[in-house]
């Protein structure tokens, strides 16, 4: 394993940002290569601790000569967001200087060619960071972007061109759901990783061996040793299943039996009133149409001070908010419906 330090220049003299980069060299040029990063939204840490638990497993495989494909790992992908605090509260989702989501505005290339990327010497620090992350990941057969939700199941976002070929990966990782998407106009990291392969010859795209996904590791508070160990085991199984790591003792992951639905089936449930949220459901619950999902207490103690929110269709509760205070119009939860949502959103679901 080799460790190096990446540096991103700030927007004033004397300011720069650093993050570590780890590389494991493969022994087989024909084997798939992999790129893993975590904490692009800098406060989302389940992926960070999963990588921490994965590294000794890869070090052991390296010592035994079992790493076949090159592996690049960025455990802390966003040093800019890590440094952002406002009145004592960490702010890792948006760059305070540009007010842009750290997982939006990545360059969407017409082909997997690094020469098409912007010059990393130009732009704001967050733009330079995004360009550098794409540079580091471009060309890898497997690209995993590890995130988490507020409170939720473990699930994957996968482009439709990679499904069902990636069903083995979902099974290997032990996730509970897969959300399929087809359009990215916002420039997510996942979009920047898969869209360059959509309009190139099949022998270049190699979609049958390509793995690109945003991994949502449950909730933001699920930073736990047992989860980290389980998630690391899932990442290792994926790498072994796809031939990046050789481990003949590892059993096949079997078939994926979780929920699979297009992004258009997700109801985000905007809150009709502001107030305190009392949930009736938890992630993983199966609900029928018109099931009460939550009560919003907007005028405590008053006769008409509570507003009920009901399921617009049958489905599975995928996520809910970790904070119980809500503004009118903010999303209450993600309900993976059995059919297309009446409020279907294309592209990304939330800012």
Q: What is the pLDDT at residue 235?
A: 98
Paired tokens of 313: 């269709």
**What CATH code is assigned to 264-337?**
2.40.50.100
Tokens at 133, concatenated: 């992350």
pLDDT of residue 321: 97
With a CB cutoff of 8 Å and minimum separation 6, the contacts of 56 are none
pLDDT of res. 266: 97
CATH superfamily of 2-257: Zn peptidases (3.40.630.10)
HSE, side-chain direction, 13 A CA sphere, residue 98: 18
Contact 158, 166 (CB under 8 A): yes
Contact 29, 137 (CB under 8 A): no
Q: What pLDDT is stored for residue 350 in this prediction? A: 86
List, as one string, the DSSP characters of 27-75. S-TTS--EEEEE-SSTT--HHHHHHHHHHHHHHHHHHTT-B-S-EEEES
Can you tell me the distance from the alpha carbon of 297 to that of 303, in angstroms, rounded to the nearest whole number? 11
* Distance between CA atoms of residues 224 and 174, nearest Å: 16
Cβ within 8 Å of residue 118, ≥6 positions away:
107, 127, 131
- What is the per-residue pLDDT for 346? 73
Distances (CA, A) of 35 to 26, 163, 235: 13, 20, 11
Omega before 164 cis (within 30°)?
yes
Q: Which residues of the chain have pLDDT under 50?
A: none
Domain ranges of the chain: 2-257, 264-337
**pLDDT at residue 345, as a whole number:** 79
Rounded CA separation 247/66 (Å):
7
According to the model, what pLDDT value does residue 35 have? 99
Q: DSSP for 249-266? A: TSPP-----SEEEEGGGE
pLDDT for position 348: 81
């Amino acid at each position: 394993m080799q460790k190096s330090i990446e540096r991103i220049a700030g927007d004033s003299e004397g300011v720069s940002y650093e993050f570590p980069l780890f590389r494991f060299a493969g022994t087989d040029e024909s084997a798939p290569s992999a790129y893993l990063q975590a904490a692009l939204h800098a406060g989302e840490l389940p992926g960070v601790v999963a990588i921490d638990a994965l590294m000794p497993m890869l070090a052991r495989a390296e010592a035994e000569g079992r790493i076949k494909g090159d592996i690049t790992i960025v455990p802390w992908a966003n040093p800019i967001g890590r440094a952002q605090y406002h009145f004592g509260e960490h702010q890792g989702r948006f760059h305070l200087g540009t007010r842009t989501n750290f997982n939006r505005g990545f360059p969407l290339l017409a082909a997997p060619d690094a020469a098409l990327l912007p010059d990393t010497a130009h732009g704001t620090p967050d733009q330079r960071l995004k360009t550098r992350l794409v540079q580091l990941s471009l060309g890898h057969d497997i690209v995993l972007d590890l995130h988490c939700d507020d409170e939720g199941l473990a699930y994957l976002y996968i482009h439709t061109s990679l499904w069902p070929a990636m069903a083995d990966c979902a099974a290997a990782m032990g996730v509970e759901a897969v959300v399929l998407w087809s359009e990215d106009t916002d420039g997510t990291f996942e979009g920047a990783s898969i869209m360059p392969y959509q309009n190139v010859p099949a022998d270049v795209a190699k979609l049958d061996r390509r793995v690109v996904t945003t991994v949502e590791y449950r909730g933001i508070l699920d930073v736990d040793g047992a989860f980290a160990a389980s998630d690391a085991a899932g990442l290792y199984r994926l790498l072994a299943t796809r031939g990046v790591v050789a481990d003949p003792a590892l059993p096949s992951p079997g078939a994926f039996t979780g929920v699979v639905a297009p992004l258009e089936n997700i109801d985000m449930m905007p809150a009709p009133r502001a107030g305190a949220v009392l949930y009736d459901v938890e992630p993983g619950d199966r609900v029928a149409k018109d099931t009460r999902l939550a009560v919003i207490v907007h005028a405590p103690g008053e006769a008409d001070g509570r507003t009920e929110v009901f399921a617009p269709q049958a489905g599975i509760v995928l996520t809910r908010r970790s904070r119980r205070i809500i503004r009118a119009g903010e999303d209450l939860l993600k309900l993976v419906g059995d059919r297309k949502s009446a409020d279907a959103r294309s592209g990304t679901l939330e800012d």
